[in-house]
Amino acid sequence: MFAAIARAVTRRAWIVIGAWVITAAAIIGFAPSISSITNSDQSAFLPSSAESARAATIAKSAFPESAAGTTGVIVVKRADVGRLTDTDLQTVAGVAQHLDGARPDATARVAFDPQRMVAPNRQVAMIAVQFRGAAEQMNVRTAVSTLRDDTTASLRGTRLTAGMTGQAAIVVDNKAAFASAETIVTIATLALIVVLLLLIFRSPIAALLPLLAVGLVFGVSSALIASAGHVLDFQVGQELPTMLTVVLFGIGTDYILFLLFRYRERLRAGDAPKQAIVTAVEKVGEAIFSAAFAVIAAFGALILATLGFFTTLGPSLAIGVVVMLAAALTLVPAIVSLLGTHVFWPSKRASAAASDSDADSHPRFAALGRFVARRPVAVIVAGVLLLGGLAAGAVAFKADYDPIDQLPGRTEASQTYADLQRGFPPGALAPTHLYVTSPHPLSETEVGAFAERVQTINGVAGVLKPALSATGTTLDLPVVVKVDPYAEAGLDLVSGPIRDAARAVAPAGTTVVVGGETMALADVRDTSNHDLAVIFPVAGALFLVILIALLRSALAPVYLVALVAAGFAGTLGAVVLLFQTGLGHAGLQFALPIILYLFVTAIGTDYNILMTARLREEINEGATPRQAAARAIQHAGPSIAAAAVILAGTFGALLISGVPFFAEIGFGVTLGIALVSFVVSILLVPAMTALLGRAAWWPKKIARDQIPDNPGALIGTVSYGVGSETPAP
C-alpha cells in the first residue's frame, strides 16, 4: 500500500504539492481562528452535574444580572507601604466614584464601601468591580485594561498606587502570559530544529524542509480544530495552541527525519532519486503510520474523560497528528522527488556509494551494544534502580489548581493578590456563594439567622451582604474564607466543612448549593481525579493491543509497556523532586500527570517499536538473542538518539516560556523522552530481549525458515530509516 502511495505521489508531484497548497489556503483562509474557541477558565469545562455548575444555573435563574458577570478587585496601597490616612481614603473614594461614572463598556458597577473595604490595619483598601459578561469575553478583557489605565492615571501625583486582580484580571494576565509563551516557544522550537537538522544533514534544504511542511500542517490543523469547535460547539484550553506547536514540530520532524534517513540510504545504495523516495516510503511508511497510530490512540483515550479540558485536548491534538501523517506520506515525498539529491545540498555524500567503514560509523553505539549483550542483567538492574529511584518522588505529588500559581510572578494580578493579603483574608479575592433555595419566600428573620450561623462556622472569616431573588425563594450569601481560596486547604474547606455546616444550619425545608470559584476548582479536582483513574488504564491497554497486533507476540508487549510505564513514573517523580522539593512549589498543575503519561508513553512506545523491530530482524537473520541486542543498538540506536534529541529539544523550549505550567511540562517531557529513549529503548529493551531470548516472541516462533524474500515486508521489521546506514552525528 505504501509503495503504491509513493509511486502515485512521485508521478504527480506537482499536482500533490499544488493540491496541498490550494487546500491549505482555502481551509486557513475561511476558517475561524483557534483563539475564538479557547477558554482559560478551568471551571468552564466541568460537567453540568458538578455542584458549582448547578450553583451557576441557580444564580443565572434567580440573579440574572449579577450572575452573568465576573468580578474584579482594585487594591490600593500607599507607595511607602504605610497606613492609609483619612485623606488617602477620600482619594480612594473619589477614584471609585470617577471609575463608576466613566465605566467602560461591559462594566456594570464600581463600588467602594469605607466600612467594609478598608483593611482593619489600614494597609490596603479595595474597590469592587462588577462586569457584565464572563471573563473570557473580549469586551470584559478590554474593560479590565481600561480600568487599570484609568486607575493609574487617577492616582498619578498622589502617594497611592493600585493594581487589579480577581477573576477578570487573572484571565487577562493569563492570556497575555500564554500568548507571550507561544511566541517564545515557537521561535525557540524553530531555531532549535534548524540547528539540529543542520548538524545531522549538513544541508540547509534538509533543515528547512521540515519547517515548511510542519508549518503548513500547523496552519491547517489549527483551522480544522477551530472549525470543528464552532460546528460541534466545544471549547479548548488556552494551552492547546502552544501544545499543538510543540507536538507537530516535534513529532512531525521525527517522521520527516526517518524518511530522509532511509532516502539517503537508498541514494547511497545506488538508487535513482525517484526510486529512492519510493523505496523509502515503502520501508518507512508503515513505521510512521504505526507510530502516528500509537500517538492518536493515546490522545483518543482522553475522549473518555469527564472534564471538558481533557475531552477536547486529546481529539484536537489527534487532528494535528492525522494531518501530519498525511503530509509525511504525500507532501514531503512529492517535494523530495522534485528536489532529488539537491535535498542534501551542498553535501555530496548523499549520492556517494557507502564505504566499508559506513557499516560501523557509530563505534560508541557498537561498543554500547556489545556491553549490553554481555551484561544484560547488570543493565536491567541499573536501569530499574534508576527509574525506581526517580519514581519514588511521585509519591509526594500534589495537584495544584491555583490559576494564580500558573502566572509569572511579575504579573499585576499575582502581585496585587499578594498586596490584598496584607490587610484582608485571602478569601476576599474570591468569595464562596451559598445559594439557599426554598419552596416559600424566605423571611428577613430566616436570612439573618442563617447568616449569623454561617459566620460562626470554622474557617469562615466573614459573610458579605446577602441577596434575595425577586421571588424571595432564593438566597445568595457570599462567604469569605480565612485561607487561600485557590489552595488545597481552601478547596477542602469549601467542599467539606463549610458545605456540610451550611446545610446543617439552613432554614428547614431548604436546599443549599455551593458555588463560586473555590467550589468550581474543588469540582475540577474531583473530576480530574476520576479521569486519571479512567484514562491511565485505558491508554495502557491501547498501547498493549497496538503492540500485540504489531509484533504478533504476547510476552514482548507486556514488558515493553511495563518499561515505558516505569519511564513515566520516573519522569513524574523527577518533576516532583525538582519543582516541589527543590523549588518549593505548593504543587504541580493538575493536568501534568495525564500530559506526561500520554506524551512519554506514546513516544516511548514509538521508540520501543523501532528497537524491537530491529531486534526481531536480526534474530530472523540468524543472530543469537545477544548478538541481536548488540547489532540492534549499533544500528537503531543512533536514529532513536537523533529523533529523541530533536523531540526533547522542542519540548525543552517550553522551559523558557515564562509560564510555570509550561516549564513543568517542558522539563517533564524532555526528561521523559530522554529516559524512554536512552534508558528504556536503547538499553533496557535490548537487555530484556537478550535475557529472554526467543521466548520474548512467544507464542510466535522466530526462526530462519520464517524469513520472507523481503524481510522488510514484515510489520515488525520496518525501521525508521535505519538499515546499513545511520544518520551522521
**The dihedral of CA 391, 396, 401, 404: what is its sign?**
negative
Identify the residue with better confidence: 284 or 110. Answer: 110
* Domain spans of the chain, in order of start: 1-30+202-358, 70-172, 362-395+552-722, 431-522
Closest CA to 254 of 187, 315, 200: 200
**Segment of 68-77, 189-198, 298-307, 501-510 carrying the highest mean pLDDT:** 501-510
The grid cell for 665 is 511540562
Q: Mean pLDDT, to the nearest integer, of 184-213? A: 83
**Segment of 171-185, 241-255, 469-483, 657-671 carrying the highest mean pLDDT:** 469-483
pLDDT, one tens digit per residue, over 628-683 is 999 989 887 887 888 788 878 877 877 887 778 788 888 998 999 999 999 999 99
- Alpha helices, H only, 355-432: 363-374, 376-391, 412-420
Residue 416: what pLDDT?
Answer: 92
Residues 6+ apart with CB under 8 A from 106: 131, 132, 133, 137, 139, 140, 142, 143
The grid cell for 570 is 520516573
Q: Mean pLDDT, to the nearest integer, of 205-225? A: 90
Q: Name the CATH superfamily for 70-172.
A: Multidrug efflux transporter AcrB pore domain (3.30.70.1430)
**The dihedral of CA 453, 456, 458, 462: what is its sign?**
positive
Identify the residue with better confidence: 681 or 179. Answer: 681
Q: Mean pLDDT, to the nearest integer, of 84-107? A: 92
Q: At what angle do helices 376-391 and 363-374 cross, to 10 degrees?
A: 100
| Integer Cα distance of 222 and 214 in angstroms | 12
Residue 702: what pLDDT?
Answer: 54
> Residue 633 region, left (φ>0) first, then alpha (ψ -120 to 50), else beta?
alpha
Please state which CATH number belongs to domain 362-395+552-722. Answer: 1.20.1640
| Integer Cα distance of 33 and 240 in angstroms | 13
CA 713 from centroid of its chain's CA atoms: 36
Q: Where residue 67 falls among pLDDT bands split at 50, 70, 90?
A: low
Q: Where residue 196 falls among pLDDT bands split at 50, 70, 90?
A: confident
Closest CA to 687 of 229, 376, 256: 376
Cβ atoms of residues 559 and 688 within 8 Å: yes
Place of cell 423571611: 443
HEC profile of 97-121: HHHHHCCCCCEEEEECCCCCCECCC
Peptide bond just before 346 cis, omega within 30 deg: yes
Cβ atoms of residues 374 and 556 within 8 Å: no
Residue 708: what pLDDT?
Answer: 38
Which pTM was predicted? Answer: 0.76
The single-letter code of the amino acid at 302 is: L
Residue 361: what pLDDT?
Answer: 54
**The dihedral of CA 261, 262, 263, 266: what is its sign?**
positive
Closest CA to 518 of 542, 493, 538: 493
The grid cell for 296 is 492518536
Residue 714: what pLDDT?
Answer: 33
Model confidence at 705: pLDDT above 80:
no
Q: Do the two domains 1-30+202-358 and 362-395+552-722 of this chain adopt the same fold?
A: yes
Residues 6+ apart with CB under 8 A from 696: 553, 555, 556, 559, 625, 688, 689
Please state which CATH number belongs to domain 431-522. Answer: 3.30.70.260
Identify the residue with better confidence: 725 or 318. Answer: 318
φ, ψ of residue 538 to 5 degrees: the values are -65, -45
Model confidence at 239: pLDDT above 70:
yes
Place of cell 503492540: 547
Model confidence at 478: pLDDT above 70:
yes
Q: Mean pLDDT, to the nearest integer, of 192-214? A: 84
Report the relative pairing of strands 236-237 and 432-437 from DSSP bridges. unpaired
| Integer Cα distance of 664 and 589 in angstroms | 8
| Integer Cα distance of 600 and 669 in angstroms | 6
Report the relative pairing of strands 38-39 and 236-237 from DSSP bridges. parallel
Closest CA to 47 of 436, 310, 435: 310
Please state which CATH number belongs to domain 1-30+202-358. Answer: 1.20.1640.10
DSSP element (H, E) containing 236: strand 236-237
Pick from 53-67, 98-112, 441-455: least confident: 53-67
Q: What is the DSSP letter of 135?
A: T
| Integer Cα distance of 629 and 612 in angstroms | 9
Closest CA to 278 of 19, 11, 15, 643: 11
| Integer Cα distance of 188 and 13 in angstroms | 32
Q: How many CB atoms lie within 10 A of CB 583?
A: 10
Closest CA to 130 of 96, 173, 177: 96
The single-letter code of the amino acid at 525 is: R
Q: How many CB atoms lie within 10 A of CB 183?
A: 12
Pick from 259-268, 320-329, 675-684, 704-713: least confident: 704-713
Residue 354: what pLDDT?
Answer: 45
Residue 710: what pLDDT?
Answer: 36
Q: Mean pLDDT, to the nearest integer, of 50-60? A: 90
Average pLDDT over the chain, rounded to whole?
Answer: 85
Model confidence at 87: pLDDT above 80:
yes
R_g of the chain, CA atoms, integer Å: 30
Percentage of the residues of the chain whose pLDDT score is greater than 90: 39
Residue 620: what pLDDT?
Answer: 80
Residue 724: what pLDDT?
Answer: 36
Model confidence at 352: pLDDT above 60:
no
Residue 707: what pLDDT?
Answer: 37
Identify the residue with better confidence: 248 or 712. Answer: 248
Model confidence at 717: pLDDT above 70:
no
Cβ atoms of residues 302 and 535 within 8 Å: yes
CA 21 from centroid of its chain's CA atoms: 29
Model confidence at 181: pLDDT above 80:
no
Identify the residue with better confidence: 319 or 346. Answer: 319
Residue 709: what pLDDT?
Answer: 36
- Cα torsion 278, 280, 283, 286 to 10°: value is -90
Pick from 225-239, 259-273, 339-353, 490-504: least confident: 339-353
How many CA within 13 A on the CB side of residue 623? 18
Percentage of the residues of the chain whose pLDDT score is greater than 70: 93
Residue 357: what pLDDT?
Answer: 40
Residue 68: what pLDDT?
Answer: 56
Model confidence at 543: pLDDT above 70:
yes
Q: Where residue 463 falls among pLDDT bands split at 50, 70, 90?
A: very high
The CA-atom distances, in angstroms, between 481 and each of 4, 426, 487 are 67, 7, 12
| Integer Cα distance of 565 and 536 in angstroms | 10
